[in-house]
Amino acid sequence: MTSRKLYWAKWRENCRRREWTFLLCGFVLLVAGPLALMVNLTGSRNGFADTLAYYGGDAQLAQQELREGMLRLFGESVGFSTLQAGLAAFFAVLFAVQGFCWLYSRQKTDLYMSVPVSLPKRYVLLWANGIFVYGIASFVSLLLSWAVGAGFSLLSSWTAAYSLVVWGMNLLAFTAMYHVALIAAMLTGNVLTAILGCSVLFLYESAARLLLDALKSMFYYSYCRADSDRLRESPWLTPFIGYLDFSGEIWYQGGGPAVRDGSGWLGPLAREAALLAFAAILAGLAAYWLFRRRKTESYQQSVVFAPLRVAAELFLVIPASVAVGITAGKLANDRGVFLFGGCLLGALAGHGLIRLVYKRELTAMLGGKLTALVCLAGSLLCLCFFRFDWAGYDAYLPELTELASVSVAQEMTPDSFGYYTEPFFGNGVYQSLEDRILERMNSAEEETMETVLSLAKKWREEGMPGAKPGTELSDDSGCWVARFSLKNGRQVYRRFYMNYEENADRLDILLRDPNYRRERYQLFDEAFLEALGTMRIFYTDGRERTLFTGEKQKLLDALRKDFEGYDYSLITGSLPVGGVEFVLQESEEPNAASLIWTYPVYGDFADTAAELAENGIYADGPGEYEPEDISGLSLYYYHYEGMEDSILGDGQYPEQDITVVFRNEQETGELLRAMYPYALSYLAGGEFWDIGTDARFSVSAVLSQEGQEKRYLEPDLLLLREKEPDFVEERVREAAQKQD
C-alpha cells in the first residue's frame, strides 16, 4: 500500500525533474499575454496623434477609433486566438513527452517500477502535473492581463466573465491535445519518434482532407468549390486543428466576440466544447489503457506493440504515395504513366523509410515484402477508385421525385450590382453571392428543379465540355453550380456548364425564379427595404448623375416589378439606358463609409421609367455627348503581330501603339454616337454575353468648357463594334503610316 508521505515525496521529485518545463510555460504565457498586451496598448495610445491627423483633427472621432482599437486588442488578448491555441498545443506536446520520457529507458523504467507506488497513482502523479501547471500558469497570465486592461480602463465585468469562459475552453482544449500527445508518447520508443507521432496525430485529419479534396478536384469533373468548402467547413474531430479553426473564426469588435460569418458565437462555442470534451475523454481513456498495457522491455523500439506496426505503416504510406502520384501526374500533365508510376514509387519509398524507422538498419528496408505488396495494392486501389470514378460521383444526379428543393448559381457570381453584406454596417461580413444563393435560394418550383436537372444531364451526355480534358467549350458558355436538397435530408453539390445561346429558354426559367431573384439581387431583400429610408437614390445615364427626390418606396416597388422580367432574353436583346444607384452611408459624416448598389434600367422598364419621369428624369437612352461638349477626342489602337482581325494586317507593321486624334466636328459627332458609357457596361450582363465593345480601342475624351458648365460627368467611353464608323479604320492606317 502506498503511503501518503511517499506519494507526495514522489510528486515533489517529479516537479523538480520537470521544473524547467514549468518555468518555460510560465515565462512564455507571461510574455505572450500581459506583457504583449501592455506593449500593444501603449503603442496604440502613443499613436493617437496619427489617428487624430487621419480624422482631420476631429478629437471625438479619433478618441472613438482609439478606444475601439484598444478594446479589440484587449479582447484578442484575453479571448480566443490562434496564438493561444498554438501555445496550448506546444505545451501539451512538451508536458506529455517530457513527463513520460522515462518509459524510453530500461534503467529509468526499472527505477520507477521498483518504487512502491500503484500504477494508477503513478500515472495520475505524472498526468496531473501537466494539467495543473498549464492551468495555473494560464490563469495567472489572465489575471495579469486583467490588471493591464484595468490600468487602461478596458476591463468590464462582462469581459472578465467572457475571458473566464475562454480560459476554461483553452484548458479543455489543452487537455484534449495533451491526451492525444500522451497516446503518441505511449506508442513510440524515444523522444524523437514521440514528437513525430504527435505531429501525425495532430495533423493527420487535416492532411487527409487536403488529399481527398485534391483527388476529387483532379478526377471528378462535376466537383465544385462549394462542395470543397463543405468538406473544409465540416466539424473537426482532431482537437488541435479543430480548436485552431474555431479560434480563427472568432473576431472582436468593441471588445466583444462574434463569428466571422456574422452569426452568434455561443452555438459554435457549445459545439466545439462538446467535441473537445468527447476527444479529451476518448483520448484520455486510450492513453491510460496504453500506459497499463505498455511492456517494460519495449524501450528503444520505434513502435511499442508489434501488431500496430503494419497498421501504422498502411495509414501513413498509402495516403503519402497517392499524394506523390497526384503530384507527379499534375507536373507531367499525365493521368496514366506518371500518375500511377509516381504512386508506385511513393509506396516503395514510404515502405522502405518506415522499415528503416522501425528496424534502424539499412538492410531492413528490403524486408517486409508482404507489407510492401499491401501498401502497393492499397495505394493503387485508392487511386483507381477516384481515377475511374468507381463511386459514380460524376454520373450521379438525383431524380426529380427525390428533390425537396434546388439552389443554383453561377460559379463566381459577379457582384457588379453591389456587394452583399448583412447587416450593412457594424458586424456585417461580406458573403459571396454564389455562397449566399446556394445557401438560401432553396426553390421548390418544379419547373426550376426540372430545368436544373436537365441542364446538368445534358452537359454529362455531351461529354462534360469545359471540364474534361480534350473537350472544348463554346465562347458563350458559363459554369453553374447546383445544390440539390433531397427529401431525405441529404445535400448534393454539382457543377455543370451550359451554352447560353442553345439554352436561352431554360436560362430564362432560372433567372425568373422568384427564389433566385430574391437572393441574387439585394433590392428584393427585406433588409434592403428597411434601410431604404436612409438611402440616397441617383439616376445615371453615363453622362449625367441626377438625385432622385421622389418617393423612394414607389421607385423601389417599380424597379422590383420591372426586374421580374430581367432575364437572358432581355439582357442580350438590348443595352441598359441607364442605372439606378442606391447609396447608403454609415453615418452623416462627410468621409463616412458608404455602400452602393447600382441596377440597370432597360427601355422595357416602363414602371421604373414612369416613376423617374414624375421626378423630371427621363430614361430614354444612354447620355450622348455632343461635339461641342468635348474639347479633345482620341482613340488608341494597339497593334501586335499575330493579332486576329487586325486593321493593319499581319506582318506589315511592327508592334506599336497608334494614336488617332479627331478634331473634325462631323467625325467627332459620328464617333460619339458610336460610344457607350463605361459605367453602364458593368450593368449590361457581361457574364452572359459580349455587349459589343471593341477591345482593340481605348478612348480618351476631355470635357470642354461648355460640357463642364452643363455639369456633365467626365466622359469614360467604350467604342461599340456595330456602330463603329467606316472612317475609323482608315484613320488608324493613316496614323500608322505616319508613325512608321
CA atoms within 13 A on the CB side of 423: 8
pLDDT of residue 580: 96
| Least confident window among 450-459, 605-614, 645-654 | 645-654
Residue 496: left if φ>0, alpha if ψ -120 to 50, beta else—which one? beta
Average pLDDT, stretch 224-250? 89
Mark residue 523 as left, alpha or beta (left: phi above 0; alpha: psi -120 to 50; beta: remaining). Answer: alpha
| Tally of helices (H runs) and strands (E runs) in the chain | 28, 14
pLDDT, one tens digit per residue, over 409-453 is 998 888 778 766 665 665 555 678 888 899 999 999 999 999 999
Q: How far is CA 653 from CA 656, 727, 736, 737, 739, in A?
A: 8, 20, 8, 9, 10
Over range 316-336, report the average pLDDT. 91
User: 47-56, 77-86, 441-450, 721-730 — which one is most confidently predicted on average?
Assistant: 441-450
* pLDDT recorded at residue 297: 46
How far lies 730's CA from each of 430, 663, 719, in Å?
A: 49, 15, 16
Evaluate whether 187 touches 309 at the Cβ level (below 8 Å). no
H helical segments located in 462-513: 504-512
Query: Per-residue DSSP letters for 241-279?
Result: HHHHHHHHTEEEETTEEEETTSS-SHHHHHHHHHHHHHH
Confidence (pLDDT) at 560: 95
pLDDT surpasses 60 at 114: no
Cβ atoms of 377 and 351 closer than 8 Å: no
According to the model, what pLDDT value does residue 737 have? 74
| pLDDT at 58 > cutoff 70 | no
Do the bridges between strand 578-585 and strand 594-601 make them parallel or antiparallel, or are there none, so unpaired?
Answer: antiparallel
Mention every residue, 6+ apart, whose C-beta is less than 8 A from residue 352. Answer: 365, 366
What is the structure's pLDDT at 107?
54
Q: If residue 705 lies in a helix (H) or strand (E), which one and from where to where?
A: helix 705-709
C-alpha cell at 713: 460627368
pTM over 0.85: no
pLDDT of residue 1: 45
CA distance readout (Å), 372 to 85, 200, 325, 614, 727:
38, 21, 17, 82, 76
Q: Bin 635: left if φ > 0, else alpha if -120 < ψ < 50, else beta.
A: beta
What is the distance between the alpha carbons of residues 437 and 415, in angstroms, rounded to a whole number? 12
Measured distance CA(454)–CA(35) in Å, rounded:
63
Q: What percentage of the chain carries pLDDT values higher than 70?
A: 86
In this prediction, residues 27-45 reach a mean pLDDT of 89
Q: What is the pLDDT of residues 136-188, one digit of tens each?
A: 999 999 999 999 989 888 888 888 888 999 999 999 999 999 999 999 888 87
Does 14 score more than 90 pLDDT? no
In this prediction, residue 53 has a pLDDT band, given cuts at 50, 70 and 90, of low
Decide if pLDDT at 546 tops 80: yes
538: burial class by Cβ within 10 Å (0-12, 13-18, 19+)? middle
* Residue 209 confidence class, pLDDT cut points 50, 70, 90: very high
Distances (CA, A) of 516 to 28, 429, 444: 53, 21, 11
- Tens-digit pLDDT profile for residues 573-594: 899 999 999 998 877 776 677 8
Supply angle C-alpha 561, 497, 223, rounded to 5: 115
Q: What distance separates the 2 farthest-apart alpha carbons in the chain?
A: 112
pLDDT-derived band at 379 (thresholds 50, 70, 90) equals very high
ω into residue 627 within 30 of 0, thus cis?
Answer: no
Distances (CA, A) of 569 to 290, 500, 689: 69, 10, 11
Question: In the predicted model, is pLDDT for residue 398 greater than 50?
Answer: yes
pLDDT on residue 655: 75
**Helix H or strand E encompassing 495:** strand 491-499
Using alpha carbons only, what angle is made at residue 98 by residues 298 and 171, rounded to the nearest 5 degrees?
A: 120
Predicted pLDDT at 319: 94
Cell (9 digits) for 247? 479560434
**Is residue 57 scored above 70 in pLDDT?**
no
Quick one: pLDDT at residue 269? 86
**Residue 288, H or E segment:** helix 266-293
Q: pLDDT at residue 396 above 90?
A: yes
Range ranked top by mean pLDDT from 265-274, 323-332, 412-421, 525-534? 323-332
User: Cα(277)–Cα(284) distance, rounded to whole angstroms?
Assistant: 10
Whole-number percent of the chain with pLDDT over 90 = 46
Q: Which residues contact 89 (CB under 8 A, 6 or more apart)?
A: 177, 202, 240, 244
Task: Identify the residue with better confidence: 311 or 543.
Answer: 543
- The per-residue pLDDT of the chain, averaged, comes to 85
Q: What is the pLDDT of residue 263?
A: 61
pLDDT of residue 420: 61
Mean pLDDT for the stretch of residues 277-283? 95
pLDDT at 299: 42
User: Which of 64-78, 105-119, 133-147, 170-184 has the lowest average pLDDT?
Assistant: 105-119
CA dihedral (16, 18, 20, 24) in degrees, to 10, reads -130
The pLDDT of residue 306: 65
For residue 300, the model assigns a pLDDT of 47
The residue behind cell 431573384 is 517
**DSSP codes, 363-382:** GGGG--HHHHHHHHHHHHHH
Q: What is the mean pLDDT of residues 601-606?
A: 94
Give residue-wise pLDDT tens across range 663-709.
888 888 999 999 999 989 989 988 888 888 877 788 999 999 999 99
Identify the CA nearest to 186 among candidates 303, 105, 282. 303
